[in-house]
Structure 1
C-alpha cells in the first residue's frame, strides 16, 4: 500500500493522534515538513491519501508553498484520492475547492461541543452519534463551505466546523487529532495569544488542561469515527 502524505505546517502542530490511528491500522504514512523547508510534490505520485494538519499562518498569506499545496489538493480530489484537513488544513481544502477563508466573528480556543447540521450527510462519518460532541479548537479564521460540499458540523462560536465532499473528503475547522502532550505544548506556546484575546470563545490554559487525559480520550472517540470512514477510501 502506498503511503498517506501528511503535511505539517508548523513544528508544534504535528499529526498527533492521526498517525497513531494510521499506525494502529497498518497504514503507511510519510511526513512533509513544510516548516522545515520540504518541497510540496508536484504530482500525487501514487499516494493513497492526503492529510493536512494545522498551522498558525493564514491561507491568505503570500507564502510560496500555499499555491502548490492548493494545486495538490485539487489533483487529489479530481483523482478520487481521499483528502482530510484539520483546522488550517480544512481552510486549505476550502480555498482549493472554490471556497474562501476569512476572519471568524470570535476567536475560538479550547474545548467546545460541535453539533451535527446535516444528519444524513454526517451519518457515514459519525454514525448514529449524539447530536452534540466535544471537540478541540484553536482558530481565529474560518472557511466557507466550498461548492458541491455539505456542511455537517457547527459550534457555538463558528458556523462551519466541518464539510464533506463526495463521501471521501472531509475538511474540519476543529481539531480531533489532539493529544494531552500537544495540548500542553499549545497552551505553553499560545499563552500570550490567550492572554491578549478578549473573545468569549477563548478558555484559559488551566481550564483547557483540566481533566485533559479523559477529555482527550473522549475526543479520540470522535476522531476514530471520522478517521475510520476516511481510510475506507484509501487505495490498497
Structure 2
C-alpha cells in the first residue's frame, strides 16, 4: 500500500483533480472503497497522508462501515498525520473529532461563494486564496465545529464551510476536487434530486455556464489545499 491513502465511498465520488495532482507529482497513492469493506485489514500505521472524499450518504446513517471509517480516522488523528476531507469526508472528520453532523433545511448546490471567517486570514490552508472565491457544492448535511477547531470559511447557506483542527487537519463541505467531466456526470445522473426554484440551489444552466473557466479556477484552489496537505506529510 502507498504512503498516501484516499478513502472513497461510491463510484461517482472519485478523487477527481486530486488524483491528477498526485500523478503529475509522481506520487504513488492507494484508493479504497470503504463502503465495499476495502478498509478492513488495512495497516492504519502505514499512511503518511489521508484524503477522504464525498458520497451521498449521511454520517448518521446506520451503516456499519461508517463506524469502521470513523474509528480509522480517529486512529489517524492520534497519529497526527495530515488529513483532508471533502464534503462527506469533512463531515466524517468532524464526527471523528466529536462534533455533531446535522441535516440542513435545504440542499446547497452549485457554485457558491465562500468567504473567510473572521480570524482565518493567517491560516496556511488559505494562503493561496482571496477573501472570497467560489467552490462547487452539493450537500444537505452540515458539520458543527469540533472542540478546538478553527473555523475558516462560510457561505450564505452554510455557516461552517471549512475548519482546521491542529495543524494537519482540514475539513470542507464543498468539492474542490471536481473536474468538468464529474460536474457533467452529476448533472446528468442526479439532476432530479435538485430543485432550482430553491434559492440555495443553482440551475443546471448556471452550473454549466462557463464551466471550463470555472473548473480551471477551482483546480487552482484545490491545488493550494493539496500542496499544503502534501507539504505537511513530507512525501
Q: TM-score, normalised by structure 2?
A: 0.94
Secondary structure of the residue that 1:148 maps to in structure 2? coil
| Alpha-carbon distance change, 188 to 118 in structure 1, aligned in 2, over 3 angstroms | same
| Alpha-carbon distance change, 120 to 151 in structure 1, aligned in 2, over 3 angstroms | closer
Secondary structure of the residue that 2:5 maps to in structure 1? strand
> Considering only aligned residues, what root-mean-square deviation do their CA atoms show, in Å?
1.8
- Could you say which residue in structure 2 is the equivalent of 1:26? 26
- Return the alpha-carbon distance in structure 2 between the equivalents of residues 122 and 215 of structure 1: 26
- Return the alpha-carbon distance in structure 1 between the equivalents of residues 42 and 50 of structure 2: 13
Q: Which runs of 4+ in 1 moved over 6 A?
A: none
| Conserved? CA contact 1:82–1:230, under 8 Å | yes
- Return the alpha-carbon distance in structure 2 between the equivalents of residues 155 and 24 of structure 1: 31
Matches within 5 A, 1:184-195: 184-195=184-195
- Return the alpha-carbon distance in structure 2 between the equivalents of residues 172 and 210 of structure 1: 24
- Return the alpha-carbon distance in structure 2 between the equivalents of residues 45 and 76 of structure 1: 8
Matches within 5 A, 1:201-212: 201-212=200-211
| Conserved? CA contact 1:135–1:174, under 8 Å | yes
Secondary structure of the residue that 2:233 maps to in structure 1? coil
Q: Does 1:130 align with 2:154?
A: no
Q: TM-score, normalised by structure 1?
A: 0.93
Deviations along 1:161-213, whole A, 9 cap, x unmatched? Answer: 00011111100001100000000011112111014x65311112222111111
Q: Deviation of residue 41 (structure 1)? A: 4.3
Secondary structure of the residue that 2:18 maps to in structure 1? helix
Q: Deviation of residue 45 (structure 1)? A: 3.2
- Return the alpha-carbon distance in structure 2 between the equivalents of residues 42 and 149 of structure 1: 28
Q: Deviation of residue 43 (structure 1)? A: 4.3
Secondary structure of the residue that 1:145 maps to in structure 2? coil
Q: Deviation of residue 121 (structure 1)? A: 5.9
